[in-house]
């Protein structure tokens, strides 16, 4: 029923002369998403991306995507920026786009304002290999000091274990600088792959069968599982209730921040 996407650009495909969304979105991953939706005609779909998708290129990127979904593909579309921190201990704002083939009424779920603390996802015993070396820790400190002197906020993030972390990204495997766990009497450490999985809401039964580097990249690119689960449940309820928008198909519902 659903599709999750990231809007990275690919080389254009040799598909001949395009028109409509084929013309405006060719060369992006959304082009392929639109083609799949057009071919498969799902009853509903769910898309997720970084919240800046709405402001990218002065809003043009999102306007093209909405036009493709609403006008070219004929779906009733809802969107909302949601922060996952009410369900997982991570500050993770993402835009979620829900579409229905029928003009069905839909409301996004409401999330708690405050979620679990970061310490609740930490492992009891962690291998020393996750502790930063003296060389790396000195480098990160110097890097942060240099940028603070310039008046910007670039640099590592030492996490507050009683609150939530920064956003986990696919680059976490490099040095773990955006989310460092403080340790008494020694250098801070990176999250383990299992802790990254928990940070995204994956259950411990989820098997990690790839290398640490691959796992960090995958979890950094992942959706926050509990958020997607709640939205999907609301989508199923909307389909089952089958309550239609009064003005009929084609009315677009804008559910902003």
- Domain definitions of the chain by residue range: 21-112+224-241, 118-221
Contact yes or no for 83/93 (Cβ under 8 A): yes
Question: CATH says 118-221 is which class?
Answer: alpha beta
Give the C-alpha separation, 251 to 235, whole Å.
17
In sequence order, what are the beta bridge partners of 49?
A: 95
pLDDT value for 83 = 97
pLDDT value for 71 = 93
pLDDT value for 154 = 73
Own/partner pairs for 50-57, CB < 8 Å, 24+ apart?
50/6, 50/94, 50/95, 51/81, 51/93, 51/94, 51/95, 53/7, 53/95, 54/81, 54/95
Show the tokens assigned to 109. 């779920």
What phi, psi does 253 have (nearest 5°)?
A: -100, 120
pLDDT value for 197 = 98
pLDDT value for 152 = 73
Q: pLDDT truncated to tens, each residue of the chain (257 aa)?
A: 444 444 433 333 323 334 444 555 555 688 889 999 999 999 999 999 999 998 888 888 899 899 999 999 999 999 999 999 999 999 999 999 999 999 999 999 999 989 999 999 999 999 999 999 999 999 999 998 987 877 776 789 999 999 999 999 999 999 999 999 999 999 999 999 999 999 999 999 999 999 999 999 999 999 999 999 999 999 999 999 999 997 654 444 444 43
Give the C-alpha separation, 257 to 41, whole Å.
28
pLDDT value for 153 = 67
Neighbours of 17 (CB within 10 A): 6
Place of tokens 């002065």: 58
pLDDT value for 1 = 45
pLDDT value for 45 = 98
> What's domain 21-112+224-241's superfamily in CATH?
Vaccinia Virus protein VP39 (3.40.50.150)
Annotated active-site positions, please?
Answer: 7
- Whether 118-221 and 21-112+224-241 are alike in CATH topology: the answer is no
């Amino acid at each position: 029923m659903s599709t999750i996407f990231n809007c990275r650009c690919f080389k254009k495909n040799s598909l001949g002369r395009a028109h409509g969304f084929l013309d405006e979105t060719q060369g992006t991953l959304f082009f392929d998403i639109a083609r799949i939706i057009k071919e498969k005609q799902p009853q509903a779909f769910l898309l997720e991306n970084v919240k800046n998708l709405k402001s990218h290129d002065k809003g043009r990127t999102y306007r093209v995507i909405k036009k493709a979904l609403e006008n070219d593909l004929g779906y009733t579309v809802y969107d909302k920026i949601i922060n996952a921190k009410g369900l997982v201990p991570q500050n993770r704002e993402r835009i979620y786009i829900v579409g229905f083939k029928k003009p069905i009424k839909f409301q996004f779920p409401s999330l708690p304002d405050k979620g679990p603390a970061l310490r609740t996802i930490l492992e009891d015993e962690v291998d020393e290999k996750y502790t930063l070396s003296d060389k790396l820790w000195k480098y990160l400190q110097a890097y942060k000091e240099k940028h603070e002197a310039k008046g910007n906020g670039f640099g590592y993030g030492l996490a507050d274990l009683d609150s939530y972390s920064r956003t986990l990204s696919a680059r976490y495997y490099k040095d773990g600088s955006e989310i460092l766990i403080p340790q008494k009497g020694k250098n801070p450490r990176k999250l383990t792959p299992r802790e990254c999985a928990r940070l995204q809401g994956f259950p411990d039964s989820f098997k990690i069968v790839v290398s640490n580097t691959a796992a960090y990249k995958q979890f950094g690119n992942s959706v926050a599982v509990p958020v997607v689960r709640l939205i999907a449940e609301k989508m199923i309820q909307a389909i089952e209730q089958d309550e239609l928008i009064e003005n009929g198909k084609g009315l677009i519902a804008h559910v902003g921040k």
